[in-house]
């Protein structure tokens, strides 16, 4: 009769290959953690505080932007920011209206 012979086809991997892969994975994860920490610190420094003011008679967005422009930037940019923050479509504001102003 015939005998069934089964050969073991399992090949052992070279020793050290798994260590290399593990070292690559650890290095990659360490880089991701370092980049995340630096990105978080960089983004964390950009905190913007707001001041709530009540519009007085005769005030315009332009005059308010000039008064609270602690960033020393173009007043047009400050007016744009104020409009964005307060969801204003137009540059018209009314006395008694409360708006948020970005400040340092």
pLDDT in tens, 40-87: 776 665 677 889 999 999 999 999 999 988 777 888 999 999 999 999
Give me 23's structure tokens: 């070292």
Strand segments (E) across 3-97: 49-54
Question: CA dihedral defined by 67, 68, 72, 73, rounded to 10 degrees?
Answer: -100
In the DSSP assignment, the letter for residue 43 is: H
Q: Is it the case that residue 4 has pLDDT exceeding 70?
A: no
In this prediction the pTM is 0.54
Mean predicted lDDT score pLDDT of the chain: 83
């Amino acid at each position: 009769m015939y005998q069934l012979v089964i050969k073991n086809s399992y090949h052992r991997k070279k020793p050290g290959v798994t260590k290399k892969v593990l070292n690559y994975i650890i290095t990659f994860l360490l880089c991701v953690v370092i980049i995340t920490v630096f990105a978080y610190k960089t983004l964390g420094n950009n905190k913007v505080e707001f001041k709530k003011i009540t519009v007085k008679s005769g005030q315009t967005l332009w005059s308010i932007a000039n008064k609270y422009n602690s960033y020393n930037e173009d007043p047009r940019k400050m007016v744009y920011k104020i409009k964005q923050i307060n969801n204003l479509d137009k540059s018209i504001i009314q006395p008694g209206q409360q708006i948020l102003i970005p400040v340092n």
